[in-house]
C-alpha cells in the first residue's frame, strides 16, 4: 500500500532524527487501527524504547509529534494508547491513493514477463467412459481459478489436463456399445457423446451384475458356499473375459479395436468440450494416458537399472520407500503392465521435456494425498528438479444436501444437468430483480441468467477453503443476499448503473482536496480497495482462491453500506461527488478483477 510505504520511510527518518539511530525497515510494525480508536494506521513503538530511553507513551508522543510537524500531508493528527501510536491519515493522502487505484486498470495484479517463473497446473483429469460430474466441477473451477491467481502473482502459467483414455473401464463401454448399441451415435440419438458412452458403461455394469448373479446361483446349486461362488463367478464371467480380451488387443495395437476406441473417445471429447465451455475453463496442453504410460514404463526401467527400484521374483517392479517412512510401492505388475503411478511418472517426463517448469501443481482430491507424497519422492529420485517441491493442491469432497439432480448412474450429479438447473433457477429468481426500465430483450435476459447462474455455482464452490469437504446447496447459492455470487454481481451491476447515469460527470480527481472531505466509511472503502493486492498475494502464497472470493464479498458488503448511507449522484458538493464516483468506479473495477480471477463474469445490468 502506497501510504504505508510513505509512512514507513517517514518513521525511519523520525527515529534517526529523534534518537540518532538507523534501524531496519522490518522494525516498523504498522497495522490497521482497532475500530474503537480514532485513526486508520497504528505503529507499535515497543521496538524503539531502548533508543528513546523513555516510557512507551512518551516515545509514541514524540514520534507522533514529529510526523504531524514534518509530514502534515500524510499524518493529520494522532493519539496514543499505551505503546501504540494511532495515526489519522490526511484526507488528501487517501484521495491521492484513490486516484492511483482509479487510474490503474490492473490494480493489485503483478505483470508477467518472459523471465517470470513457469508454473504448470494440472486439473480436470477425466475418464473417457463417463460424463463430468459435480466432483469434476469443483476440480475444474479450482484449477482454473488457481491458474488465474498464480498469473496475477506474476507467474507464467501453463494449464494442463491428463485424460484417462485407456484401461479396462474404456473397454467395458466399447464392448457394451458393440453388443447393444445398434450403431448408435451422438448424431442419431441427439445425445452428447460423453453421455452416450456413459450410458453404455452403465449398461455393461448392469449386464455384468446380472451375469455374476446367475453364475453365483449356479455354482451355489452345485454345492459351493456363497463367497467362493461369487468370487468364481466374477472371475469366469464371459462378459468380463471379453472386456479383458479387448484390452489385450488394444495393448497389441489391434487396428479394429483401436479404430473403435478412437471413434468413441472422439465422441466423448466433443462432449467434454461443451461442458468445459459452459464452465468457462480450458487448457493450454492436454496429455493422454494412452501416450504417457509407455514413457512411464521406460522411466521405471531406467530407475531399476540405476538401483532406485527392485524387481521381485514374480517379475514385478517396486520402490522401497520404508526409509522415507512410507511403504513399498508397486510400479510395474508382474505381467509388465503399468499402474497409475507409472503413468504419472511418464506424464511428468513428457511435461518436463515440453516446458521449462519451475513449479508443478496437481489439483487432485484429498483421497490421493498418499499417491502424491509417493510421486514426489519417486520423481525426485528419477532426477526431476521440481519433483521434491511439487504441490498437491488437495481438495475435499463436494456433495448435495439431497438426492436431486442425480445423474444417469443414479449415484453422482451430472455436470451438464447441474449447469442447466443453475441457469434455469437464476432465470426464475431474477425475474423480479430485472430492472424493467432497462428494456432487456429475451436474449439479454437469458444471457444475464447464464452469467448469474454460473456465477452462483462458481462462487459458492470457490468461497469455501478447498481443503474442506463442502455441501453445495443450489437454492442457497443463488440468493441475492448474503455471501453469494449473485449478491456481488448485483452490487457490480448497481454501480455500473450509477456510473451510466453519471455520464459526463465522470471526471478524474485533480487539484488540492479540502480536509474533512471523507467520511470514515469512504476511508474504509479506500483501505479495502488498497488491500486487493495483498489478498491476491495471499491467495497465491497459500494456494487458496477462497481468499479472493471472500475479499470480493467483504468489499461488496462495505460498498452497500456506503451506498445506503450516502448520496452519490445527488451530492451537492462537487468535490465530494467526484470522490464518491471515483470510489464507485474503483470498487466496480476491483470486483470485476477479483471475480475474474475466479472465472466469474459480472453483468452490466441485472
Average pLDDT over residues 227-247: 93
Instruction: Give the pLDDT confidence of 351-364 residue by residue, as tens digits.
Output: 989 999 999 999 99
Average pLDDT over residues 531-558: 97
Is the pLDDT assigned to residue 408 strictly greater than 50? Answer: no
Give the pLDDT confidence score for residue 2 in this predicted structure.
Answer: 78
Question: 13-22, 163-172, 462-471, 496-505: lowest mean pLDDT where?
Answer: 496-505
Average pLDDT over residues 317-346: 90
Closest by CA position to 363, among listed 148, 138, 541, 163 = 138
- With a CB cutoff of 8 Å and minimum separation 6, the contacts of 195 are 131, 271, 408, 414, 416
Predicted confidence band at 338 (pLDDT cuts at 50, 70, 90)? confident
- Higher-pLDDT residue of 439 and 506 is 439
Instruction: Give the pLDDT confidence of 417-468 residue by residue, as tens digits.
Output: 999 999 999 988 877 655 444 677 888 889 999 999 999 999 999 999 999 9
According to CATH, where is 1.10.730.10 located in the chain? 422-597
Is the pLDDT assigned to residue 58 strictly greater than 70? Answer: yes
Give the pLDDT confidence score for residue 506 in this predicted structure.
Answer: 62
Answer yes or no: pTM beyond 0.85. yes
Is the pLDDT assigned to residue 413 strictly greater than 60? Answer: yes
Residue position matching grid coordinates 474533512: 516
According to CATH, where is 3.30.1360.70 located in the chain? 2-89
Strand 75-81 relative to strand 84-89, pairing: antiparallel
Region 2-89: CATH code = 3.30.1360.70
Give the pLDDT confidence score for residue 505 in this predicted structure.
Answer: 65
Average pLDDT over residues 329-341: 87
Residue 408 has phi, psi (to 5 degrees) of -60, -30
Is the pLDDT assigned to residue 513 strictly greater than 80? Answer: no
Instruction: Give the pLDDT confidence of 239-256 residue by residue, as tens digits.
Output: 999 999 999 899 899 999
Instruction: Give the pLDDT confidence of 30-56 residue by residue, as tens digits.
Output: 998 998 999 999 999 999 999 999 999
Give the pLDDT confidence score for residue 465 in this predicted structure.
Answer: 94
Average pLDDT over residues 576-600: 96
Cell readout for 338 is 503399468
Give the pLDDT confidence score for residue 514 in this predicted structure.
Answer: 63
Residue 597 has phi, psi (to 5 degrees) of -60, -30
Is the pLDDT assigned to residue 508 strictly greater than 70? Answer: no
Nearest-angstrom CA–CA distance, 493 and 95 = 24
Q: How far is CA 439 from the centre of its chain?
A: 36
Average pLDDT over residues 513-541: 91
Provide, rounded to the nearest whole percent, the portion of the chain with pLDDT above 70.
95
Average pLDDT over residues 58-84: 94
Provide, rounded to the nearest whole percent, the portion of the chain with pLDDT above 90.
80
Give the pLDDT confidence score for residue 510 in this predicted structure.
Answer: 56
Pick the CATH number of 422-597 from 3.20.20.70, 3.90.79.10, 1.10.730.10, 3.40.250.10: 1.10.730.10
Average pLDDT over residues 323-336: 90
Instruction: Give the pLDDT confidence of 259-315 residue by residue, as tens digits.
Output: 999 999 999 999 999 999 999 999 999 999 999 988 999 999 999 999 999 999 999
Which residue(s) pair with 84 in the sheet? Answer: 44, 81
Give the pLDDT confidence score for residue 407 in this predicted structure.
Answer: 46
- Higher-pLDDT residue of 468 and 335 is 468
Average pLDDT over residues 536-559: 97
Give the pLDDT confidence score for residue 95 in this predicted structure.
Answer: 92
Cell readout for 132 is 463430468
Predicted confidence band at 161 (pLDDT cuts at 50, 70, 90)? very high
Give the pLDDT confidence score for residue 340 in this predicted structure.
Answer: 87
Is the pLDDT assigned to residue 515 strictly greater than 70? Answer: no
Instruction: Cite the DSSP H helix spans in 331-484.
Output: 340-354, 369-381, 415-430, 442-462, 474-477
Closest by CA position to 587, among listed 498, 479, 485, 477 = 498
Average pLDDT over residues 219-240: 92
Q: Within 10 Å of residue 562's Cβ, how many Cβ atoms? A: 19
Closest by CA position to 107, among listed 534, 533, 545, 600 = 533
Predicted confidence band at 406 (pLDDT cuts at 50, 70, 90)? very low
Question: How many CA atoms lie less than 13 Å away from 69 in the CB half-sphere?
Answer: 8
Give the pLDDT confidence score for residue 411 in this predicted structure.
Answer: 59
Amino acid at each position: 500500500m502506497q501510504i504505508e510505504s510513505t509512512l514507513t520511510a517517514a518513521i525511519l527518518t523520525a527515529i534517526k532524527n529523534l534518537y540518532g539511530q538507523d534501524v531496519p525497515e522490518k522494525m516498523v510494525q504498522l497495522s490497521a487501527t482497532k475500530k474503537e480508536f480514532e485513526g486508520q494506521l497504528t505503529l507499535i513503538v515497543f521496538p524503539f524504547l531502548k533508543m528513546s530511553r523513555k516510557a512507551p507513551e512518551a516515545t509514541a508522543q514524540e514520534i507522533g509529534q514529529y510526523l504531524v510537524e514534518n509530514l502534515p500531508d500524510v499524518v493529520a493528527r494522532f493519539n496514543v494508547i499505551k505503546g501504540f501510536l494511532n495515526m489519522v491519515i490526511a484526507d488528501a493522502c487517501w484521495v491521492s491513493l484513490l486516484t492511483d487505484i482509479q487510474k490503474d486498470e490492473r490494480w493489485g495484479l503483478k505483470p508477467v514477463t518472459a523471465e517470470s517463473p513457469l508454473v504448470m497446473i494440472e486439473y480436470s483429469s477425466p475418464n473417457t467412459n463417463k460424463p463430468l460430474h459435480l466432483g469434476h466441477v469443483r476440480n475444474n473451477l479450482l484449477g482454473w481459478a488457481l491458474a488465474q491467481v498464480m498469473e496475477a502473482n506474476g507467474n507464467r502459467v501453463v494449464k494442463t489436463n491428463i485424460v484417462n483414455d485407456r484401461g479396462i473401464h474404456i473397454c467395458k463401454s466399447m464392448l457394451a456399445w458393440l453388443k447393444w448399441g445398434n450403431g448408435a451415435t451422438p448424431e442419431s440419438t441427439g445425445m452428447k457423446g460423453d453421455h452416450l458412452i456413459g450410458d453404455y458403461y452403465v449398461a455393461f455394469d448392469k449386464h455384468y451384475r446380472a451375469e455374476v448373479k446367475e453364475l453365483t446361483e449356479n455354482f451355489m446349486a452345485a454345492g459351493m458356499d456363497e463367497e467362493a461362488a461369487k468370487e468364481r463367478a466374477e472371475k469366469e464371467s464371459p462378459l468380463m473375459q471379453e472386456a479383458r480380451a479387448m484390452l489385450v488387443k488394444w495393448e497389441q495395437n489391434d487396428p479394429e479395436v483401436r479404430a473403435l476406441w478412437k471413434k468413441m473417445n472422439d465422441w466423448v471429447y466433443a462432449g467434454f468440450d461443451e461442458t468445459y465451455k459452459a464452465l468457462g475453463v480450458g487448457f493450454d496442453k492436454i496429455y493422454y494416458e494412452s501416450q504417457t504410460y509407455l514413457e512411464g514404463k521406460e522411466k521405471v526401467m531406467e530407475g531399476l537399472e540405476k538401483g532406485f527400484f527392485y524387481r521381485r521374483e514374480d517379475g514385478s517392479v517396486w520402490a522401497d520407500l520404508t526409509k522415507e517412512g512410507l511403504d513399498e510401492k508397486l510400479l510395474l505388475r508382474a505381467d509388465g503392465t503399468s499402474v497409475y503411478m507409472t503413468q504419472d511418472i511418464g506424464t511428468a517426463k513428457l511435461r518436463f521435456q515440453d516446458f521449462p517448469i519451475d513449479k508443478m501443481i496437481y489439483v487432485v482430491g484429498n483421497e490421493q494425498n498418499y499417491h502424491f507424497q509417493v510421486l514426489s519422492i519417486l520423481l525426485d529420485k528419477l532426477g526431476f528438479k521440481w519433483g521434491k517441491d511439487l504441490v498437491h493442491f488437495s481438495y475435499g469432497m463436494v456433495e448435495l444436501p439431497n438426492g436431486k439432480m442425480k445423474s444417469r448412474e443414479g449415484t453422482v450429479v451430472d455436470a451438464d444437468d447441474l449447469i442447466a438447473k443453475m441457469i434455469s433457477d437464476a432465470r426464475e429468481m431474477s425475474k423480479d430483480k430485472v430492472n424493467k426500465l432497462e428494456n432487456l430483450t429475451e436474449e439479454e435476459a437469458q444471457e444475464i441468467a447464464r452469467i448469474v447462474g454460473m456465477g452462483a455455482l462458481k462462487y459458492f464452490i470457490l468461497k469455501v477453503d478447498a481443503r474442506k469437504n463442502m455441501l453445495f446447496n443450489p437454492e442457497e447459492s443463488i440468493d441475492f443476499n448474503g455471501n453469494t455470487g449473485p449478491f456481488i454481481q448485483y452490487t457490480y451491476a448497481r454501480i455500473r448503473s450509477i456510473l451510466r447515469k453519471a455520464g459526463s460527470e465522470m471526471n478524474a480527481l485533480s487539484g488540492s482536496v479540502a480536509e474533512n472531505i471523507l467520511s470514515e466509511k469512504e476511508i474504509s472503502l479506500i483501505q479495502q480497495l488498497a488491500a486487493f493486492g495483498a489478498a491476491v498475494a495471499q491467495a497465491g502464497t497459500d494456494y487458496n482462491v477462497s481468499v479472493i472470493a471472500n475479499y470480493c464479498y467483504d468489499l461488496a458488503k462495505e460498498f452497500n453500506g456506503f451506498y445506503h448511507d450516502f448520496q452519490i449522484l445527488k451530492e451537492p458538493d462537487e468535490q465530494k461527488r467526484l470522490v464518491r464516483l471515483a470510489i464507485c468506479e474503483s470498487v466496480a473495477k476491483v470486483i470485476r478483477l477479483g471475480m475474474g480471477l475466479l472465472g466469474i463474469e459480472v453483468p452490466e445490468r441485472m
